[in-house]
Chains A and B, each alone.
Chain A
Amino acid sequence: MFASIFGSVEQGIIYAIMALGVYISFRVLDFPDLTVDGSFVTGAGVAATMIIFGYHPVAATAVAIVIGFLAGCVTGLLHTKGKINALLAGILMMIALYSINLRIMGLTSPNSIGRPNIPLLNAETMFIQFQSFWGSLGIDTAINNFFSLLGVQFLPSTWGTLFIMTIIVFIIKFIVDWFLRTEVGLAIRATGDNKKMIRSLSANTDTLVIVGLGFSNALVAFSGALIAQYSRFADIGMGIGMIIIGLASVIIGEAIFGTKTIVRTTIAVIAGAVIYRIVLGLALRVEFLDTGDMKLITAVIVIGALILPQYFEKKREKTRKAKRHAERLAEQRISPLKGGNGVAETQSD
C-alpha cells in the first residue's frame, strides 16, 4: 500500500509539469489544445534519442523543451494565421507529430527510418546522475529507518527522485506564477478572457496565442522528457490520452483547492496531478481491474470531478437557504407585530 502510493506520488509530481502546461492552454488561454498528446511524446523521444547518442541528460531535456515550444507555436500559427478551428488545429498537429516522433526516435536505429520504442535501460538519465550524488548523503537510510520504526514494511529504494522532482516542480510553479503576472502574461490571460478588450488595448492576440501555446507545450515536452528518463523508455504510444490526464489534474485540483488567485491555482493543479495518480493507483489495486482499464478509470475520475462539485454546491445552497428560512421564521415568532410584513421583508432581502 505505502509503496504503491509512494510510486503514485513520484509519478504524479512529474506529470504535474504537464498538467501546468494544460492549465495554461486550457484555462488561461481558453484553448482546448490537443497537441499535448503529441508533444508529450516529442519531449520523451527527443530526450531519449539524445541520451542514446551520448549527450548529457540535462542538455537532452533542454532540447526537448525547445522542440515542445516549437510544436506549440505551430499549433498557434495554424489557428491564428491559418484560421483553423482550435480543436482541429490541435488534432492536426497531434497526428503530424505522431509521424515526426517516429522519425525522431528512428534516428537511433541504423536499419530503419522510424522507431516506436527506445529503451534506456543502461543509459545515464538525470535521475541516475542525481542519485549518485544523493546516495552519498545517506538521507535514504535515515528516512527509511524512521519509517520502519513506524512499522511501514515496503520502503522505497530512494527518496532522491521525489526530492529533486519536488524542487523542480516548485521552480516551474514559480516561473509560471511570475510569467502570468508579467505584462506579457497579463495580456495572455486577457486573450483567454476577453479578446476584443485586449485587442483594443493594442495587444497582438495572434502572437500571444502562439507564445502561450508554445510555453504550454514546452512544459508538456519537459514532463515527457522526465517521464522517459524516470521510466527508462520512450514509446510512441505513451502520449495517448495525455490531454485528458492533464485536464483531470486541472479539474480535480481546482475542485478541491479553488482558483482564487494564480498562485493558489497552480498549486491546486500540482496537487490535482498527484491526487489523480493516487486515485488511479488505488483503483488499479482493485482485483477485477486491469492496467488496460486505466483510460476508463481516468474517464470516470474526470466525470466525477466535473459532476460532484455541482452536486455538493447545490446541497450546500439548499442547507444554507433552509437555515436562512428557519431563522426568519424564528424572528417573526419573537416579534409578532412585524409578522404582517413578512412578505415584504422577503422581497427586500
Chain B
Amino acid sequence: MLLKLNQINKLFNEATPDEKIALDQINLHLSPGDFVTVIGSNGAGKSTMLNMISGALSPDFGEIEIAERNVTKLPEYKRSQMIGRVFQDPMAGTAPSMTIEENLAMAYSRNKKRRFRKGVDRKRREFFRTSLETLHLNLENRLNAKVGMLSGGERQALSLLMATFTQPSILLLDEHTAALDPSRAELITNLTKLLVEKDQLTTLMITHNMQQALDLGNRLIMMDKGQIILEIGFEEKQQLTIPALMDEFQRIRGEKLTSDKALLSV
C-alpha cells in the first residue's frame, strides 16, 4: 500500500456551539499507480482529507501511512518531499514576483536538500525548457517572465508541472480546474491525464465536475458529511453514468441530491 488512512477523525471548532464533524472514521487505501477521483457536496470533508494527507492539518485520532511509513506526526514541509500538490486557486501554487524558471527551480529542489548553490544553472534551464515544451503553451520561451504576468490557466499548468516533474509518491489535486473557464479547464484536465499517465503517479483528485470524475482515473469515491459513502473500482467505473451515480447517492442517503447545485454541474 502506498497510502493508508486509518480511522481518521477530525472535529472543527471543538467544544463550541459551531462544533462540526469534518472527518468521521475515514479509511482509505491507495495502491501505487491508483488515480482516485473524489466527489461530494460542499462541506463533505474532501479538502480536509487532502489537507490531512499533505500535513496542513493533523487528525484528532487516527494514523496516516505513506509507503509503509507512519507520517502522522511528520510536519507538512517534510511530508511535501513525497507529495505534489495543486490548489484550486491559480494564485496559490506559484510565487508571482519570481520568474518562471525560478519557480521551476524551487519545485526542482523539492525532494533534495536546498543548498547555497545557484538555483538555475545552464543544465537545469535546459531541463526546464524541455519540461515546459510538454505544456504547449509557449512558456519555454518566456523563462524570465514573472509568473504574476501569466493568465490563470497558464499559472495552473505551471503549478501542475511543478507538482509532478520531480515524480512525487502522491499527487494531490484540490479542484484544480474549478477556477478556470471551460476551455482552460479542459486543457488542464488533458494535461493532468498526460502527466499522471507519463509517470504512473498515484493521484487523489477532488472535483465538482461529475463528468470529469467519471472520465479520469481508475477509482472513484464519494464523500458526504465527513464519511466516505461510496467506493467504486475500475470495472464498475467504466460503465458508470451521472444519473446512476446520483441514484446511488439517493439510495445510500435516502435524500435527493438534486438540491445540490455544485454536485450537479456537468
Q: Could you say which residues of chain A place their CB within 8 Å of the CB of B95? A: 189-190, 193-194, 197-198
Any B CB within 8 A of the CB of A186:
yes
Q: Are A182 and B162 in contact (CB under 8 A)?
A: no
Q: Could you say which residues of chain B place their CB within 8 Å of the CB of A201? A: 80, 106-107, 109-110, 162
- Given A198-B106, A200-B80, A200-B85, check contact A186 B116 (CB 8 Å): no
**Cα distance A312–B115 when bound, in Å?**
42
Q: Are A196 and B97 in contact (CB under 8 A)?
A: no
Closest to B162 in A: A201
Q: Are B116 and A182 in contact (CB under 8 A)?
A: yes
Q: Could you say which residues of chain B place their CB within 8 Å of the CB of A199? A: 76-77, 80
Count A/B pairs, Cβ under 8 Å. 84
User: Smallest CB–CB gap between A197 and chain B, Å?
Assistant: 6
Q: Are A203 and B114 in contact (CB under 8 A)?
A: yes
Closest to A195 in B: B95
Q: Could you say which residues of chain A place their CB within 8 Å of the CB of B154? A: none
Q: Could you say which residues of chain B place their CB within 8 Å of the CB of A181? A: 102, 118-120
Any B CB within 8 A of the CB of A306:
no
Any B CB within 8 A of the CB of A204:
yes
With an 8 Å Cβ cutoff, the count of chain A residues facing the other chain is: 22
Q: Could you say which residues of chain A place their CB within 8 Å of the CB of B83? A: 200
Count class of interface residues, chain B: 20 to 34
Q: Could you say which residues of chain B place their CB within 8 Å of the CB of A179? A: 116
Any A CB within 8 A of the CB of B6:
no
Q: Are B116 and A189 in contact (CB under 8 A)?
A: no
Q: Could you say which residues of chain A place their CB within 8 Å of the CB of B93? A: 197, 200
Q: Could you say which residues of chain A place their CB within 8 Å of the CB of B97? A: 189, 193
Q: Are B118 and A182 in contact (CB under 8 A)?
A: yes
Q: Mark B residues whose CB is within 8 Å of A.
A: 54, 75-81, 83, 85, 87, 91-98, 102, 105-107, 109-111, 114-120, 162
The 6 listed contacts between A and B (C-beta, < 8 Å) are: A181-B118, A183-B109, A183-B117, A184-B114, A190-B95, A203-B77
Q: With A187-B114, A200-B80, A202-B77 given, can you name 7 additional A-B contacts, CB distance below 8 Å? A: A182-B118, A187-B106, A189-B97, A190-B106, A197-B95, A199-B76, A199-B80
Q: Mark A residues whose CB is within 8 Å of B.
A: 179, 181-187, 189-190, 193-194, 196-205
